[in-house]
Chain A
Amino acid sequence: QKEVEQDPGPLSVPEGAIVSLNCTYSNSAFQYFMWYRQYSRKGPELLMYTYSSGNKEDGRFTAQVDKSSKYISLFIRDSQPSDSATYLCAMSENPNDYKLSFGAGTTVTVRA
């Protein structure tokens, strides 16, 4: 069993739709949860991070963590074609832990 599971998709939605992405994990020691966005032929860039359980909102992006279910989500509201990318979840046991465990990434296409 992989430590972090993420459906690779691909996911295709019309412009303006809500994009829902999620990851499950097996290591209950994970406390810091991140979402990275990776455009084609580019390196990943940090989009959002959350600590422990709860929600965090940043503009059109909302990250949710449910530690009891070992499940994290990323929602993108009012999706735009520029949101088309691969989204990777990542997690670690503490904020200074360089060893991040990544999901496989979900490829999202937002159709104009």
Chain B
Amino acid sequence: GAVVSQHPSRVICKSGTSVKIECRSLDFQATTMFWYRQFPKQSLMLMATSNEGSKATYEQGVEKDKFLINHASLTLSTLTVTSAHPEDSSFYICSASGLAGGKVGAEQFFGPGTRLTVL
């Protein structure tokens, strides 16, 4: 199957700083990438969808000025959490789709996630 990587896998930062998380599709071209947030014992919540070369579409309730998403190429998307606060601490997971022949028409391949802890 297709491989999606995320970097870093874990980050601890001070309140008020910005953190950038990278999501890469390693062996396919991802026309669409997705960013999710997952709190302990809760569902994956879609934050935003990004298509290569265009602005991201944010879900209701997600602050676009706080969670900056850039999808500059078909293999890379970045999520920047600006002025992070303790309530932003969560598990952030990206996924990518675009590979023909996936199990479903829009199968999403998930990255391993990034654990963000804001002190």
The number of A-B residue pairs with CB atoms under 8 Å apart is 60
Min Cβ gap A65→B in Å is 14
Report, as a range, how many residues of chain A touch the other chain. 20 to 34
Min Cβ gap B5→A in Å is 10
Tell me which residues from 40 to 58 in chain A have a Cβ below 8 Å from any Cβ of chain B.
41-46, 49
Partner of A97, one of B6, B44, B93, B106: B106
Check B34 against A49 for contact (C-beta < 8 Å). Answer: no
Check A32 against B113 for contact (C-beta < 8 Å). Answer: no
Chain A residues within CB distance 8 Å of chain B: 2, 4, 6, 8, 32, 34, 36, 41-46, 49, 88, 95-105
Chain B residues within CB distance 8 Å of chain A: 1, 4, 6, 9, 32, 34, 41-46, 49, 93, 95, 97, 103-113
